[in-house]
Amino acid sequence: MARFKKLFNSALAVAILAGSMGLSSCSGVSEEQLAELEALKSEVKSLEKDVNSLKSEKTKLTREIAEKQAKLDQCAKDKAATKENLKEVGN
């Protein structure tokens, strides 16, 4: 979650920078500003890729947890049934 927040803050910073560059465009844009903007765009794309990768990993882990929980639930049912059978055999 902290990494997502960092990614979001970086994207927000890029948006603010791009917006301020747009407002100051009346005086023209220097080559340095264009290079910085391109670098920031590249960083945003990279961060978005990281976010998508993390979301995919989260989905995978959530599915694995659900599968393990289902196995645990089945074990609990089997254990209860076994205890009941042992009670019947003991009588």
Burial 4-31 (b: 16+ CB within 10 A, else e): eeebeeebeebeeeeeeeeeeeeeeeee
Give the residue-averaged pLDDT of 53-79: 98
Helices (H), 1-91: 2-23, 31-90
| pLDDT tens-digit readout, 3-59 | 777 777 777 677 777 766 665 555 677 899 999 999 999 999 999 999 999 999 999
**Predicted local confidence at residue 71, as pLDDT:** 98
**Predicted local confidence at residue 46, as pLDDT:** 95
- Nearest CA to 5 out of 40, 54, 45, 42 is that of 54
